[in-house]
Amino acid sequence: QVQLAESGGGLVQAGGSLRLSCAASGRTFSSYTTAWFRQPPGKEREFVAAFRGSDGSTPYADSVKGRFTISRDNAKNTVYLQMNTLKPEDTAVYYCAAWFGNLPVSSMNFPNNYNYWGQGTQVTVSS
């Protein structure tokens, strides 16, 4: 069993930066595929980025490529999402997710493939 807890959300102006953290407890992170999803107001949950432990593969959604960076510190059992050059359309609740094992890259963007979720952290970007 794994518990995930996100932190680092908040209010930021467009062009600013935030770093989200997701701390895991219960099992070591190194054997997991971990990901960030987000849910904008009134919209469905969408993929942001993922990290596969076996080879460090890090696919990104096109909308965040070049601006966001996912990373993981297995010693701290924590996954991060560094968000730069934020835009108002990045406003959403951001969720951390994990699955025990190595998902194919083509499957990492589907929320149904993850069975552990955090409670979410709000990110609001003002224009």
Question: Taking residues 87-98, what's their average pLDDT?
Answer: 97
- DSSP structural state of residue 43: S
What confidence score (pLDDT) does residue 125 get? 98
Q: Are 17 and 68 in contact (CB under 8 A)?
A: no
3-class DSSP assignment, residue 49: strand
What distance lies between CA 61 and its chain's CA centroid?
11
What is the per-residue pLDDT for 43? 97
Q: Which residue has the higher pLDDT, 26 or 62?
A: 62
Which residues are paired to 21 by β-bridges? Answer: 7, 80
DSSP 62: T
Chain mean pLDDT for the chain: 94
Examine the pLDDT at 91 and tell me if it is beyond 80. yes
* 43-85: pLDDT as tens digits: 999 999 999 988 889 999 999 999 999 999 988 999 999 999 9
